[in-house]
Structure 1
């Protein structure tokens, strides 16, 4: 079924990976989680290329410059291999290119920092092909608070961020609430006239206290809004054991730095030492499926999708879901849990296409 259905992945960090260390992903690559042969093997048709801008560049011209550079890199992938890839800027284009046997490369901007408080930049990035914006990343920016940032600068959205929601609705830009604080999420839901997405988030039910994931109350609001949560595969998003391992590593590293100094050999090898004594508790395909099951039972199968975070979560991917060739494992897991073909097609891509079409339709009317 993976080869017959449209598979849309809401978040894959290929552009930043190539910016860091260039390889030709139109051919097989030794590292990373994505390349053309593996994508074809997995049945992946439309991976959203993440135009990721680190929070360290917020409030700088470099932020906007990097976003344009990463968009250029996606265009370059298509330019070098037009028989394999094509940019996609609409739901209809994804469907058309699927029929042509091409892998669509839609783009989403992770961190709204490059907007720089200028609505004209929203139009510029829309014109360049960006179709969703993750409002913030690891720190509050000029748009929104982040779930990772304890300062809560805006207590949700900034005044500019509130105006941006309306403009995103009107232009046909999907609103991505992954990474934002709970207050920002609820404010977005109140302001938006279109369904929203969580492009790569999982569920707080399985990771208590991890605000980056979504609570049951948030999921209920998301369902009422008509939006979708796209499940992140990273083990730290999937199980509390992986989160606790990360907390343990942080405490161990801090203790070594305090005792030996931050420039010591012991500090440099702290993670290797910790890993040797405490092997990383990779989550499993079954545990990823548990997240999908939970959404389906709480708000319905129409509100869940896939947002793997491939090439973005490093060496934390679950057993059975290590790269983009592994979607058939996910499909088989859903079949084994008695999901119908129709429901599996919704999860793999049709739910996202429905939301995207609704956002496009609203913009066409406004």
Structure 2
């Protein structure tokens, strides 16, 4: 029966077999929907990747985001995949706490702005859903911005307004270490047991000025305190479901997903394989331990030049099987089963999770593969439109409306 839909007419008691859409037809439909609907992605780490590669703002260098074989994002691949509004991550490493965080954030925002100025026929800034929709109608890719790590607030509440004025539309409160705002899911220090007193002020101020609160990366205690404090919906810009990664606090457990939905918020699923499948991280840890032992036996460290061919050969001989596009759909299914289709979206972490991306979602050209998988699972066009952008738009508009 996988090739047919069976319809029963109760009035005439007749059975009619109607051919269902074939795989090829569904793939064409998936590609059509990917370009018909706006696709927003909560987290693309292009700016920091370009900075690490010594990216410069001179006009001749700004061709890099148009077409390249490096990284996961460029204009050509984004257009192929139907990606219209990727949030550019203004990523600030934890080491920048009290160490030039504000200056680094400003430089990355300048970079994103410079890209749009160098390629006005391809990219545009978007500080609101309405602006992103206008850009979409013009065929432009919008580059809204979210700040990953609140360290650039630098203990000055007025900087929340400053970052809004600079175009930041969400702030991930912390990253891999506790900071002056809250505790991190990756840290075990428990500096504040959640939000700091200043962090409580930050959440209220973000509500006031119209910046979405992003609870990806925060500790569980921080999450629950934010939920009790915020007056508007929040997002998890790039997190997945802890059900599939037991013990991994960086992902959200079922109670947190339900609570985020009660708040009318959205969890945007991270595509990194270690976020999708706990066994992948386990296997990677095992292989890393084997490699470390091998290097020690050879009297080498990871930093030694002579270690590079050893590492390369080991990685070639010990490839770890990554998750695939079906696993991402499993996470979406799980959120829908817990809370409904109104509370989930895409938060790939492209250019941020390295070579752990799942089969079928290796770069921004492959969103149609995920839409195809959702269609196969029975998601309607309306459901897919919500997942692609409408759920996030609802939160973004609500935050804007409350600020106004």
Q: TM-score, normalised by structure 1?
A: 0.95
Aligned-partner Cα distance in 1 for 2:236–2:65: 28
Counterpart CA distance in 1 for 2:294 and 2:280 is: 21
Q: Give the 5 Å matches for 1:36-115.
A: 36-60=75-99, 62-115=100-153
Gaps of 5+ in 1: none
Please tell me whether the aligned partners of residues 235 and 317 of structure 1 are also in contact (alpha carbons under 8 angstroms): yes
Q: State the SS of the aligned residue for 1:226.
A: coil
* 1:201-251 per-position Cα deviation (integer Å, ceiling 9, x unaligned): 011100111111110111111111110000000111111121112322443
Q: Are residue 240 (structure 1) and residue 272 (structure 2) matched?
A: no
Contact 2:271/2:358, CA 8 A, preserved across alignment:
yes
Whichever of the two has the greater Rg, that structure is 2
Which residue of 2 is the match for residue 348 of structure 1? 388
Give secondary structure in 1 for the equivalent of 2:176: coil
Select 2:353's aligned residue among 310, 313, 320.
Answer: 313
Q: 1:251 to 1:185 in 2, by over 3 A?
A: same
Partner Cα separation in structure 2 for residue 244 and residue 274 of structure 1: 17
- Counterpart of 2:219 in structure 1 is 181
Which residue, 49, 52, 64 being the options, matches 1:20? 52
The unaligned stretches of length 5 or more in structure 2 are 1-32, 56-60
The within-5 A match list for 1:120-199 is 120-199=158-237
The answer as to 2:71 corresponding to 1:32 is yes
Name the CA shift for 1:362/1:271 in 2 (closer, same or farther; >3 Å): farther
Matching of residues 177-326 of structure 1 within 5 Å: 177-256=215-294, 259=297, 260=299, 262=301, 271-272=311-312, 274-326=314-366
| Residue of structure 2 equivalent to 1:11 | 43
- Residues in 1 aligned to 2:147 and 2:291: alpha-carbon distance in whole angstroms: 32
The CA deviation at 1:326 is 0.5
Output the aligned Cα RMSD.
Answer: 1.6
CA distance in 1, matches of 2:64, 2:390: 26
Q: Is the 8 A contact 1:25 1:36 kept in 2?
A: no
- Whole-Å Cα distance in 2 between the matches of residues 223 and 174 of structure 1? 15
1:233–1:317 CA contact under 8 A, matched in 2: yes
Distance (Å, rounded) in 2 between the aligned partners of 1:47 and 1:133: 15
Tell me, yes or no, if the aligned pair for 1:26 and 1:81 is still in contact at 8 Å. no
The answer on whether the counterparts of 2:34 and 2:368 sit within 8 Å (CA) in structure 1 is: yes
Distance, in Å, in 2 between the alignment partners of 1:281 and 1:247 is: 13
Tell me the equivalent position of 2:12: none
SS at match of 1:205: helix
Question: In the alignment, is the contact (CA less than 8 A) between 2:44 and 2:352 conserved in 1?
Answer: yes
Cα offsets for 1:75-132 (capped at 9, x unmatched)? 0100001111110001111111111211110000000001001012111111000000
